[in-house]
Chain A
Protein backbone atom coordinates (compact mmCIF):
# COMPACT_ATOMS: atom_id res chain seq x y z
CA UNK A 1 0.00 0.00 0.00
CA UNK A 2 1.34 3.39 -0.95
CA UNK A 3 1.79 6.33 1.34
CA UNK A 4 -1.33 7.44 3.11
CA UNK A 5 -2.59 10.62 4.67
CA UNK A 6 -3.45 9.99 8.31
CA UNK A 7 -6.06 12.01 10.14
CA UNK A 8 -6.89 10.89 13.67
CA UNK A 9 -7.35 7.11 13.42
CA UNK A 10 -8.27 7.20 9.72
CA UNK A 11 -6.04 6.46 6.73
CA UNK A 12 -6.43 7.83 3.22
CA UNK A 13 -4.00 6.59 0.56
CA UNK A 14 -2.74 9.51 -1.47
CA UNK A 15 -2.86 7.68 -4.79
CA UNK A 16 -6.66 7.36 -4.62
CA UNK A 17 -9.40 9.83 -5.46
CA UNK A 18 -12.40 10.41 -3.20
CA UNK A 19 -16.04 11.46 -3.45
CA UNK A 20 -17.81 13.70 -0.96
CA UNK A 21 -20.03 10.75 -0.15
CA UNK A 22 -17.26 8.52 1.15
CA UNK A 23 -16.28 6.41 -1.83
CA UNK A 24 -12.68 5.98 -2.91
CA UNK A 25 -11.74 5.59 -6.56
CA UNK A 26 -8.66 3.95 -8.00
CA UNK A 27 -7.89 4.11 -11.74
CA UNK A 28 -6.83 0.69 -12.96
CA UNK A 29 -6.25 1.44 -16.65
CA UNK A 30 -8.39 0.93 -19.71
CA UNK A 31 -10.78 3.64 -18.61
CA UNK A 32 -11.78 1.61 -15.58
CA UNK A 33 -11.79 2.35 -11.88
CA UNK A 34 -12.17 0.27 -8.74
CA UNK A 35 -14.30 1.82 -6.02
CA UNK A 36 -14.81 1.12 -2.35
CA UNK A 37 -15.73 2.57 1.03
CA UNK A 38 -13.27 4.93 2.76
CA UNK A 39 -11.71 4.11 6.10
CA UNK A 40 -13.67 6.95 7.67
CA UNK A 41 -16.99 5.63 6.35
CA UNK A 42 -16.35 2.00 7.26
CA UNK A 43 -15.73 3.03 10.86
CA UNK A 44 -18.91 5.06 10.85
CA UNK A 45 -20.86 2.06 9.58
CA UNK A 46 -19.54 -0.25 12.33
CA UNK A 47 -19.24 -3.96 11.46
CA UNK A 48 -20.67 -4.63 8.00
CA UNK A 49 -22.78 -7.80 7.98
CA UNK A 50 -24.33 -7.74 4.50
CA UNK A 51 -23.61 -6.15 1.15
CA UNK A 52 -26.34 -6.10 -1.46
CA UNK A 53 -24.51 -6.54 -4.76
CA UNK A 54 -24.93 -4.19 -7.73
CA UNK A 55 -26.11 -5.47 -11.09
CA UNK A 56 -23.01 -6.29 -13.11
CA UNK A 57 -23.43 -4.82 -16.59
CA UNK A 58 -25.79 -2.08 -15.44
CA UNK A 59 -25.15 1.60 -15.94
CA UNK A 60 -24.85 3.73 -12.83
CA UNK A 61 -24.79 7.47 -12.65
CA UNK A 62 -22.70 9.44 -10.25
CA UNK A 63 -24.79 9.71 -7.07
CA UNK A 64 -26.86 6.57 -7.75
CA UNK A 65 -26.89 3.85 -5.14
CA UNK A 66 -24.08 1.45 -6.02
CA UNK A 67 -24.58 -1.00 -3.14
CA UNK A 68 -26.63 -1.09 0.03
CA UNK A 69 -24.76 -2.12 3.16
CA UNK A 70 -26.11 -3.41 6.41
CA UNK A 71 -23.96 -2.99 9.47
CA UNK A 72 -24.83 -4.32 12.90
CA UNK A 73 -26.88 -1.23 13.63
CA UNK A 74 -28.04 0.43 10.43
CA UNK A 75 -28.62 0.21 6.70
CA UNK A 76 -26.60 2.65 4.61
CA UNK A 77 -25.78 3.14 0.96
CA UNK A 78 -22.62 3.60 -1.04
CA UNK A 79 -23.27 6.08 -3.83
CA UNK A 80 -21.43 5.66 -7.07
CA UNK A 81 -18.66 8.27 -7.28
CA UNK A 82 -18.64 8.08 -11.09
CA UNK A 83 -20.88 7.45 -14.09
CA UNK A 84 -20.32 4.28 -16.07
CA UNK A 85 -21.00 0.59 -16.38
CA UNK A 86 -20.46 -1.86 -13.51
CA UNK A 87 -18.12 -4.50 -14.90
CA UNK A 88 -17.22 -6.40 -11.76
CA UNK A 89 -18.37 -6.83 -8.20
CA UNK A 90 -16.23 -8.15 -5.36
CA UNK A 91 -18.00 -11.43 -4.75
CA UNK A 92 -15.76 -12.11 -1.75
CA UNK A 93 -18.04 -9.67 0.09
CA UNK A 94 -20.92 -12.15 -0.16
CA UNK A 95 -19.02 -14.57 2.04
CA UNK A 96 -17.11 -12.07 4.13
CA UNK A 97 -18.64 -8.58 4.20
CA UNK A 98 -16.30 -7.71 7.08
CA UNK A 99 -13.55 -7.22 4.46
CA UNK A 100 -15.00 -3.72 4.04
CA UNK A 101 -13.96 -3.02 7.63
CA UNK A 102 -10.72 -4.96 7.81
CA UNK A 103 -9.19 -3.89 4.51
CA UNK A 104 -11.26 -1.06 3.05
CA UNK A 105 -8.72 -0.09 0.37
CA UNK A 106 -7.66 -3.65 -0.52
CA UNK A 107 -9.59 -6.90 -0.21
CA UNK A 108 -12.69 -4.91 0.76
CA UNK A 109 -13.03 -3.19 -2.64
CA UNK A 110 -16.63 -3.11 -3.85
CA UNK A 111 -16.93 -2.78 -7.62
CA UNK A 112 -15.11 -2.03 -10.84
CA UNK A 113 -16.68 0.53 -13.14
CA UNK A 114 -15.94 1.40 -16.75
CA UNK A 115 -16.08 5.17 -16.98
CA UNK A 116 -18.20 6.89 -19.58
CA UNK A 117 -15.99 9.93 -19.37
CA UNK A 118 -12.41 9.31 -18.21
CA UNK A 119 -12.21 13.03 -17.55
CA UNK A 120 -14.62 12.57 -14.66
CA UNK A 121 -11.70 11.56 -12.46
CA UNK A 122 -10.53 15.17 -12.47
CA UNK A 123 -13.64 16.24 -10.60
CA UNK A 124 -13.01 13.91 -7.66
CA UNK A 125 -11.21 14.93 -4.50
CA UNK A 126 -7.61 14.27 -3.51
CA UNK A 127 -6.96 12.67 -0.11
CA UNK A 128 -6.12 16.13 1.29
CA UNK A 129 -9.30 17.70 -0.07
CA UNK A 130 -11.45 14.84 1.17
CA UNK A 131 -10.05 15.18 4.67
CA UNK A 132 -10.26 18.97 4.70
CA UNK A 133 -13.69 19.35 3.14
CA UNK A 134 -15.53 16.23 4.25
CA UNK A 135 -13.91 14.28 7.07
CA UNK A 136 -13.08 17.27 9.27
CA UNK A 137 -16.61 18.58 8.90
CA UNK A 138 -18.22 15.31 9.94
CA UNK A 139 -15.70 13.84 12.37
Chain B
Protein backbone atom coordinates (compact mmCIF):
# COMPACT_ATOMS: atom_id res chain seq x y z
CA UNK B 1 0.00 0.00 0.00
CA UNK B 2 1.12 3.54 -0.77
CA UNK B 3 2.09 5.80 2.08
CA UNK B 4 1.10 9.36 2.80
CA UNK B 5 3.44 11.50 4.83
CA UNK B 6 1.62 13.65 7.37
CA UNK B 7 3.08 16.73 9.05
CA UNK B 8 1.45 18.45 11.99
CA UNK B 9 4.21 21.05 12.12
CA UNK B 10 2.74 24.44 13.01
CA UNK B 11 3.75 27.78 14.51
CA UNK B 12 0.35 29.25 15.46
CA UNK B 13 1.83 32.32 17.14
CA UNK B 14 3.91 33.15 14.08
CA UNK B 15 1.76 33.15 10.92
CA UNK B 16 4.73 34.33 8.86
CA UNK B 17 6.65 31.16 9.70
CA UNK B 18 3.55 29.04 9.11
CA UNK B 19 3.26 30.39 5.56
CA UNK B 20 7.02 30.19 5.00
CA UNK B 21 6.94 26.53 5.95
CA UNK B 22 3.95 26.00 3.66
CA UNK B 23 6.04 27.15 0.70
CA UNK B 24 9.09 25.23 1.91
CA UNK B 25 7.43 21.82 1.98
CA UNK B 26 5.65 22.44 -1.34
CA UNK B 27 9.02 23.20 -2.91
CA UNK B 28 10.68 20.23 -1.26
CA UNK B 29 7.96 17.99 -2.76
CA UNK B 30 8.36 19.67 -6.15
CA UNK B 31 12.10 19.03 -6.04
CA UNK B 32 11.42 15.37 -5.27
CA UNK B 33 13.15 15.59 -1.87
CA UNK B 34 10.12 14.44 0.14
CA UNK B 35 7.20 12.15 -0.77
CA UNK B 36 3.56 13.24 -1.17
CA UNK B 37 2.80 15.17 1.99
CA UNK B 38 -0.33 16.27 3.84
CA UNK B 39 0.20 19.06 6.34
CA UNK B 40 -2.43 20.03 8.91
CA UNK B 41 -1.86 23.22 10.84
CA UNK B 42 -3.35 26.30 12.50
CA UNK B 43 -2.65 29.96 12.88
CA UNK B 44 -3.68 31.99 15.86
CA UNK B 45 -5.54 35.16 14.82
CA UNK B 46 -4.31 36.27 11.39
CA UNK B 47 -5.55 37.42 8.01
CA UNK B 48 -4.07 35.56 5.06
CA UNK B 49 -4.34 37.34 1.71
CA UNK B 50 -4.04 35.84 -1.78
CA UNK B 51 -0.88 36.13 -3.86
CA UNK B 52 -2.25 38.88 -6.10
CA UNK B 53 -4.24 40.81 -3.55
CA UNK B 54 -3.45 44.20 -2.11
CA UNK B 55 -3.83 43.89 1.65
CA UNK B 56 -5.21 47.41 2.08
CA UNK B 57 -8.05 46.62 -0.33
CA UNK B 58 -9.07 43.46 1.48
CA UNK B 59 -8.32 44.16 5.10
CA UNK B 60 -9.26 46.95 7.48
CA UNK B 61 -5.61 47.41 8.42
CA UNK B 62 -6.17 49.79 11.31
CA UNK B 63 -8.81 47.53 12.85
CA UNK B 64 -6.52 44.54 12.34
CA UNK B 65 -3.67 46.41 14.04
CA UNK B 66 -5.93 47.47 16.88
CA UNK B 67 -7.04 43.87 17.44
CA UNK B 68 -3.49 42.57 17.06
CA UNK B 69 -4.29 40.53 13.96
CA UNK B 70 -1.26 40.22 11.67
CA UNK B 71 -1.62 40.15 7.88
CA UNK B 72 0.39 37.69 5.84
CA UNK B 73 0.42 36.82 2.15
CA UNK B 74 0.28 33.25 0.89
CA UNK B 75 1.73 32.02 -2.40
CA UNK B 76 -1.60 30.82 -3.82
CA UNK B 77 -4.32 32.95 -5.35
CA UNK B 78 -7.86 33.71 -4.32
CA UNK B 79 -9.36 35.84 -1.60
CA UNK B 80 -8.41 36.94 1.89
CA UNK B 81 -9.30 34.57 4.73
CA UNK B 82 -9.34 34.86 8.47
CA UNK B 83 -7.57 32.28 10.63
CA UNK B 84 -7.58 31.60 14.34
CA UNK B 85 -7.21 28.48 16.44
CA UNK B 86 -10.80 27.56 15.58
CA UNK B 87 -9.83 27.15 11.94
CA UNK B 88 -7.90 24.12 10.72
CA UNK B 89 -5.79 24.33 7.56
CA UNK B 90 -4.83 21.40 5.40
CA UNK B 91 -2.26 21.42 2.60
CA UNK B 92 -1.41 18.65 0.19
CA UNK B 93 1.65 18.58 -2.05
CA UNK B 94 1.89 15.84 -4.65
CA UNK B 95 3.67 15.39 -7.97
CA UNK B 96 2.51 17.26 -11.06
CA UNK B 97 -0.30 15.43 -12.87
CA UNK B 98 -0.01 14.60 -16.56
CA UNK B 99 -3.62 15.71 -17.13
CA UNK B 100 -5.39 19.06 -16.65
CA UNK B 101 -3.96 20.33 -13.34
CA UNK B 102 -6.96 22.43 -12.31
CA UNK B 103 -9.31 19.50 -12.81
CA UNK B 104 -6.90 17.32 -10.89
CA UNK B 105 -6.62 19.73 -7.96
CA UNK B 106 -10.31 20.48 -7.49
CA UNK B 107 -11.98 17.55 -9.21
CA UNK B 108 -9.88 15.00 -7.39
CA UNK B 109 -7.64 16.24 -4.56
CA UNK B 110 -10.30 18.48 -3.00
CA UNK B 111 -12.33 15.32 -2.45
CA UNK B 112 -10.04 14.45 0.45
CA UNK B 113 -11.36 17.44 2.37
CA UNK B 114 -14.89 16.63 1.27
CA UNK B 115 -14.49 13.08 2.58
CA UNK B 116 -13.17 14.46 5.87
CA UNK B 117 -16.24 16.64 6.36
CA UNK B 118 -18.55 13.76 5.58
CA UNK B 119 -16.72 11.66 8.14
CA UNK B 120 -17.54 14.35 10.68
CA UNK B 121 -21.19 13.94 9.79
CA UNK B 122 -21.65 16.99 7.57
CA UNK B 123 -23.63 16.82 4.34
CA UNK B 124 -20.84 18.61 2.52
CA UNK B 125 -20.91 19.58 -1.15
CA UNK B 126 -18.44 21.31 -3.46
CA UNK B 127 -19.56 24.78 -4.58
CA UNK B 128 -17.96 27.26 -7.00
CA UNK B 129 -15.41 24.59 -8.00
CA UNK B 130 -13.21 25.10 -4.94
CA UNK B 131 -15.42 25.86 -1.95
CA UNK B 132 -17.07 23.31 0.31
CA UNK B 133 -20.47 24.15 1.76
CA UNK B 134 -22.75 22.47 4.23
CA UNK B 135 -26.43 23.32 3.97
CA UNK B 136 -25.72 26.36 1.83
CA UNK B 137 -22.99 27.81 4.01
CA UNK B 138 -19.30 27.78 3.23
CA UNK B 139 -17.11 26.04 5.78
CA UNK B 140 -14.03 25.50 3.65
CA UNK B 141 -12.21 27.24 0.80
CA UNK B 142 -9.28 25.97 -1.20
CA UNK B 143 -6.59 27.32 -3.50
CA UNK B 144 -4.14 25.53 -5.75
CA UNK B 145 -0.90 26.22 -7.54
CA UNK B 146 1.29 24.37 -9.98
CA UNK B 147 4.78 25.59 -9.35
CA UNK B 148 8.16 24.12 -8.61
CA UNK B 149 7.17 20.86 -10.29
CA UNK B 150 4.42 20.00 -7.84
CA UNK B 151 0.66 20.11 -7.64
CA UNK B 152 -0.29 21.86 -4.45
CA UNK B 153 -3.67 22.51 -2.87
CA UNK B 154 -4.49 23.95 0.51
CA UNK B 155 -7.64 24.98 2.25
CA UNK B 156 -9.28 26.27 5.39
CA UNK B 157 -11.85 24.53 7.53
CA UNK B 158 -13.86 26.67 9.91
CA UNK B 159 -14.54 24.67 13.05
CA UNK B 160 -15.31 27.27 15.71
CA UNK B 161 -13.46 30.39 14.58
CA UNK B 162 -14.38 33.84 15.87
CA UNK B 163 -16.50 35.07 12.98
CA UNK B 164 -17.01 38.37 14.79
CA UNK B 165 -13.33 39.20 14.36
CA UNK B 166 -13.49 37.93 10.79
CA UNK B 167 -16.22 40.40 9.86
CA UNK B 168 -14.39 43.25 11.55
CA UNK B 169 -11.05 42.77 9.81
CA UNK B 170 -12.08 41.57 6.34
CA UNK B 171 -13.63 44.11 4.00
CA UNK B 172 -16.68 42.81 2.14
CA UNK B 173 -15.95 42.17 -1.55
CA UNK B 174 -17.31 44.79 -3.96
CA UNK B 175 -20.70 44.08 -5.50
CA UNK B 176 -19.27 43.90 -9.01
CA UNK B 177 -17.13 40.92 -8.10
CA UNK B 178 -20.02 39.18 -6.43
CA UNK B 179 -22.05 38.80 -9.58
CA UNK B 180 -19.48 37.01 -11.74
CA UNK B 181 -21.20 33.66 -11.82
CA UNK B 182 -20.19 32.95 -8.24
CA UNK B 183 -22.88 31.72 -5.93
CA UNK B 184 -23.52 33.69 -2.77
CA UNK B 185 -22.36 30.72 -0.72
CA UNK B 186 -18.83 32.06 -1.12
CA UNK B 187 -19.70 34.97 1.14
CA UNK B 188 -21.90 33.11 3.63
CA UNK B 189 -19.41 31.42 5.89
CA UNK B 190 -20.16 29.38 8.97
CA UNK B 191 -18.45 27.25 11.57
CA UNK B 192 -18.84 23.52 11.37
CA UNK B 193 -19.60 23.29 15.10
CA UNK B 194 -22.55 25.60 14.69
CA UNK B 195 -23.92 23.82 11.63
CA UNK B 196 -23.63 20.39 13.22
CA UNK B 197 -24.91 21.66 16.56
CA UNK B 198 -22.13 20.08 18.60
CA UNK B 199 -18.69 20.96 19.76
CA UNK B 200 -16.05 19.59 17.42
CA UNK B 201 -12.49 19.35 18.60
CA UNK B 202 -9.55 20.15 16.37
CA UNK B 203 -8.23 16.68 17.07
CA UNK B 204 -11.37 15.19 15.55
CA UNK B 205 -10.88 17.36 12.48
CA UNK B 206 -7.23 16.35 12.14
CA UNK B 207 -8.18 12.67 12.28
CA UNK B 208 -10.98 13.14 9.77
CA UNK B 209 -8.65 14.96 7.36
CA UNK B 210 -6.01 12.27 7.61
CA UNK B 211 -8.61 9.56 6.99
CA UNK B 212 -10.26 11.55 4.20
CA UNK B 213 -7.00 11.90 2.29
CA UNK B 214 -5.97 8.30 3.02
CA UNK B 215 -9.26 7.19 1.50
CA UNK B 216 -8.87 9.46 -1.52
CA UNK B 217 -5.28 8.47 -2.29
CA UNK B 218 -5.62 4.84 -1.27
CA UNK B 219 -2.66 5.38 1.03
CA UNK B 220 -1.75 4.71 4.63
CA UNK B 221 -0.75 7.81 6.58
CA UNK B 222 2.30 8.03 8.80
CA UNK B 223 3.24 10.91 11.03
CA UNK B 224 6.51 12.60 10.21
CA UNK B 225 8.52 15.67 11.16
CA UNK B 226 9.97 18.28 8.80
CA UNK B 227 13.33 17.49 7.27
CA UNK B 228 16.30 19.72 8.02
CA UNK B 229 16.18 20.92 4.45
CA UNK B 230 12.51 21.89 4.68
CA UNK B 231 13.24 23.85 7.84
CA UNK B 232 16.26 25.50 6.30
CA UNK B 233 14.24 26.59 3.27
CA UNK B 234 11.43 27.78 5.57
CA UNK B 235 13.88 29.90 7.55
CA UNK B 236 15.27 31.45 4.37
CA UNK B 237 11.78 32.21 3.09
CA UNK B 238 10.79 33.58 6.49
CA UNK B 239 13.72 35.95 6.70
CA UNK B 240 13.76 36.97 3.06
CA UNK B 241 10.04 37.17 2.33
CA UNK B 242 7.26 36.17 4.71
CA UNK B 243 8.37 38.33 7.64
CA UNK B 244 8.70 41.40 5.40
CA UNK B 245 6.06 44.11 5.04
CA UNK B 246 6.87 44.53 1.32
CA UNK B 247 5.84 40.91 0.73
CA UNK B 248 2.76 41.03 2.93
CA UNK B 249 1.40 44.45 2.08
CA UNK B 250 2.41 45.29 -1.50
CA UNK B 251 0.82 43.77 -4.56
CA UNK B 252 3.76 42.85 -6.75
CA UNK B 253 6.75 42.28 -4.56
CA UNK B 254 8.23 39.56 -6.74
CA UNK B 255 11.23 41.49 -8.01
CA UNK B 256 12.61 42.12 -4.58
CA UNK B 257 13.08 38.41 -4.06
CA UNK B 258 15.33 37.32 -6.91
CA UNK B 259 18.35 36.66 -4.70
CA UNK B 260 16.18 34.72 -2.26
CA UNK B 261 15.14 32.44 -5.12
CA UNK B 262 18.80 31.68 -5.76
CA UNK B 263 19.38 30.78 -2.12
CA UNK B 264 16.34 28.54 -1.92
CA UNK B 265 17.20 26.80 -5.18
CA UNK B 266 20.69 26.26 -3.89
CA UNK B 267 19.49 24.61 -0.66
CA UNK B 268 17.20 22.40 -2.73
CA UNK B 269 20.14 21.48 -4.94
CA UNK B 270 18.47 22.87 -8.03
CA UNK B 271 21.08 25.35 -9.10
CA UNK B 272 24.55 26.56 -8.25
Contact = CB atoms under 8 A, between A and B. Distances in A.
Physical interaction between A and B? yes
Interface of A: 44-46, 49-50, 52-53, 55, 58, 68, 70-71, 73-77, 137-138
A73 B142 CA distance: 9
A138 B101 CA distance: 10
Given A50-B77, A75-B143, A75-B146, 15 more contacts: A44-B100, A58-B258, A71-B77, A73-B102, A73-B106, A73-B144, A74-B101, A74-B143, A75-B52, A75-B76, A75-B144, A75-B147, A76-B147, A77-B146, A138-B99
A74 B254 contact: no
A75 B145 contact: yes
Contacts of A50: 52, 77
A87 to B, nearest CB: 16
Given A52-B252, A74-B105, A75-B77, A137 B146 contact: no
B217 to A, nearest CB: 20
A44 B102 contact: yes
Contacts, number: 60
A49 to B, nearest CB: 7
A77 B101 contact: no
B155 to A, nearest CB: 13
Contact of A74 (B98, B144, B252, B258): B144
- The interface residues of chain B, by DSSP majority, are classed as loop
Interface of B: 50-52, 75-77, 98-102, 105-106, 129-130, 143-147, 252, 254-255, 258
A94 to B, nearest CB: 10
A31 B51 CA distance: 34
B26 to A, nearest CB: 12
Nearest to A63: B271
A44 B52 CA distance: 19
Contacts of B129: 73
A95 B32 CA distance: 38
Nearest to A55: B255
B254 A68 contact: yes
Contacts of B258: 55, 58
20 contacts: A44-B100, A52-B252, A52-B254, A53-B252, A55-B258, A58-B258, A70-B51, A70-B52, A73-B105, A73-B106, A73-B144, A74-B102, A74-B143, A74-B144, A74-B145, A75-B75, A75-B147, A76-B101, A77-B146, A138-B100
A53 B147 CA distance: 17
Contact of B51 (A44, A68, A73, A138): A68
B99 to A, nearest CB: 7
B102 A137 contact: no
A119 B200 CA distance: 63
Contacts of A49: 52
A131 to B, nearest CB: 16
Contact of B101 (A44, A53, A70): A44
A133 to B, nearest CB: 13
A67 B143 CA distance: 19
A64 B129 CA distance: 30
Contacts of A58: 255, 258
B81 to A, nearest CB: 15
B146 A74 contact: yes
Given A70-B52, A138-B98, A76 B145 contact: yes
